[in-house]
Amino acid sequence: MSKPKLKDDYQNQIKNYQPKPPYFLNCLKAFVIGGLICTLGQGIQNFYIQVFNFSEKDAGNPTVATLILLSAILTGMGVYDKLGQFAGAGSAVPVTGFANSMTSAAIEHRSEGIVLGVATNMFKLAGSVIVFGVVAAYVVGVIRYFYGLAF
């Protein structure tokens, strides 16, 4: 019989001493905070519809832009990071989480200059999102095109 690996033995020994993560509480916090962010977005959209007489379709773009602006401002003030620590995925999944990550990268690298610091590091994150978004849109477009030809 072979001797168990030292790493595996260590992992088994420390399992008893590690605290169990509160999965249910984390899910509940993520659900509530994510829902509140979406409710805020709906309120902003209703504001654009009522005050500026936008249609529901036309109010979508300024609503998203407003949420991104609010997220960037709150990130700059250090508020959104505390919200993210509390809510976890509930603050990371909506578009505000993406704006937070871009703004955080820009703030972190501002001492390196605008081009080599802010722009370069900010778009390291955004680049992959943009590439996968464009590829996904292309694939869906091709599927829709051939689906339209078939029917």
How far is residue 42's CA from residue 49's CA, in Å, rounded to a whole number?
10
Question: pLDDT tens digits for 77-129?
Answer: 999 999 999 998 888 877 898 888 888 888 888 888 888 778 777 777 777 77
Question: pLDDT tens digits for 34-60?
Answer: 999 999 999 999 999 999 999 999 999
Say whether pLDDT at 6 is over 60: yes
How far is residue 131's CA from residue 79's CA, in Å, rounded to a whole number?
30
Domain with 107 in it: 33-121
Per-residue pLDDT, 140: 95
The answer as to whether 4 is a domain residue is no
The answer as to whether 151 is a domain residue is no
Q: Is 2 left (phi over 0), alpha (psi -120 to 50) or beta?
A: beta
Q: How many domains is the chain partitioned into structurally?
A: 1
The answer as to whether 67 is a domain residue is yes
What is the model's pTM? 0.72
The answer as to whether 44 is a domain residue is yes
Say whether pLDDT at 3 is over 60: no
Average pLDDT of every residue of the chain = 88
Average pLDDT over residues 135-145: 94
How far is residue 121's CA from residue 118's CA, in Å, rounded to a whole number?
6
The answer as to whether 52 is a domain residue is yes
Query: Distances from the Cα of 128 to the Cαs of 109, 119, 134, 137, in angstroms?
Result: 19, 14, 10, 14
* Residue-wise DSSP of 49-109: HHHH---TTTTHHHHHHHHHHHHHHHHHTTHHHHHHHHHTHHHHSSHHHHHHHHHHHHHHT
